Amino acid sequence: MSIRRILTFPEPFLRETARPVENITGDTAKWIDDMAQTMYAAPGIGLAAPQVGLDQRIIVLDVAPDDDEEPGKDRGKHLIHVVNPVIVEADGETTFEEGCLSVVDFRAEVDRAARVLVRGWNLDQQEIEIEADGLLAVALQHEIDHLEGTLFIDRLSRLKRELYVKRVKKALREGRPIAQRRAASESN
Ligand SMILES: [Zn+2]
């Protein structure tokens, strides 16, 4: 297992549509391990393969709150992975403040479906279904967006998005890193 570098906006690879996984192999298992380790190390609550430079439709999530007294104690216990995830049902509306490991130092409220039914595959080559509401429903939609090259900032008003884009461009122009400060525990 290894921790991979997380690509950040405006990296063009984050805008690509990811390829479906055609065969679930040892490589798939390794990629999922790497993604999980990278997500926990960040720390974040979800990660999509394109965020670590993999052209594959794979997502990992763990939205269970960490144990403050023993950080890392429950690590992996609530880990979810989905290969080739598809949203087959979505209803209701909810608004959550989202962050993203690929959108550094920025959080904003995003409107999404309140409940989703996601279908996909697991490493045992079984077809799986996940019915979710609350934070998990939001995180699933956020990660599946990544597979289409969509970032949460694309779902904001143009004004809000431009404020962030300008900030990133200015930082890049001045050759300084974008501030790393973020409430990372809920980034995905
Ligand atoms: Zn994200």
How many CA atoms, within 13 angstroms, populate the side-chain half-sphere of residue 77? 9
Q: Is the dihedral of CA 35, 172, 97, 95 positive or negative?
A: negative
Q: How many secondary structure helices (H) and strands (E) does the chain include?
A: 3, 7
CA of 187 from ligand 1 middle (Å) equals 7
User: Which of these, 61, 65, 64, 79, lies nearest to 141 by C-alpha position?
Assistant: 61
> Is 50 exceeded by the pLDDT of residue 88?
yes
Cβ atoms of 50 and 147 closer than 8 Å? yes
Kindly report the CA angle at 20 between 14 and 23, in degrees rounded to 5? 135
Task: Identify the band that residue 183 occupies on the pLDDT scale cut at 50, 70 and 90.
Answer: very low
User: What is the chain's mean pLDDT, rounded?
Assistant: 92
Give tens-digit pLDDT for 112-156: 999 999 999 999 999 999 999 999 999 999 999 999 999 999 999
Instruction: Round to whole Å and give the CA distance between 64 and 74.
Output: 9
Percent residues over pLDDT 70 in the chain = 92
Which of 16, 70, 127, 143 is catalytic? The answer is 143
Q: Given this model, what pLDDT does residue 181 score?
A: 47
CA of 6 from ligand 1 middle (Å) equals 10
Predicted structure pTM score: 0.92
- Residue ranges of domains in the chain, CATH in brackets: 12-186 (3.90.45.10)
Instruction: Round to whole Å and give the CA distance between 56 and 82.
Output: 11
Q: Given this model, what pLDDT does residue 160 score?
A: 94
- Which of the 8 DSSP states describes residue 22? -
Q: Given this model, what pLDDT does residue 71 score?
A: 67
Query: SS3 for 186?
Result: helix
CA of 182 from ligand 1 middle (Å) equals 13
Give tens-digit pLDDT for 10-50: 999 999 999 999 999 999 999 999 999 999 999 999 999 99
CA of 93 from ligand 1 middle (Å) equals 20
Task: Identify the band that residue 184 occupies on the pLDDT scale cut at 50, 70 and 90.
Answer: very low
Query: Is 143 marked active-site?
Result: yes
> Is 80 exceeded by the pLDDT of residue 103?
yes
Percent residues over pLDDT 90 in the chain = 84
Q: Given this model, what pLDDT does residue 188 score?
A: 76
CA of 100 from ligand 1 middle (Å) equals 4
CA of 28 from ligand 1 middle (Å) equals 20
